[in-house]
Amino acid sequence: MMHLFKKKEKKPTALDILKTEIDMTKAELETAYSHFENVVDPDLISSSIYHINSVQERYKYLMKLLKSVETEQ
């Protein structure tokens, strides 16, 4: 009988999932910048730069996607 009083969980929308992905990408970018600031080996510096650029491109893509989804609504 207890299941009658349980709150039904709201299924996340595509917009919710996209916003979560953007938040995760922001966190990854902060981590990448932090890593870049703390490495000294030239190879690791290069690797950090590539990683930062990669995450920045993903962030730009997600933001473009977010704008297109928001304009559809």
Q: What is the pLDDT of residues 50-66, one digit of tens each?
A: 999 999 999 999 999 99
Domain ranges in the chain are: 26-67
Helix axes 14-38, 42-72, angle to 10 degrees: 160
d(CA 18, CA 48): 25
CB atoms within 10 A of CB 24: 12
Q: pTM of the prediction?
A: 0.80
Q: Could you give the angle at the alpha carbon of 48 between the alpha carbons of 46 and 51, nearest 5°?
A: 110
Are 25 and 58 within 8 A, CB to CB?
A: yes
Q: What is the pLDDT of residues 2-32, one digit of tens each?
A: 566 667 778 888 899 999 999 999 999 999 9
Are 14 and 69 within 8 A, CB to CB?
A: yes
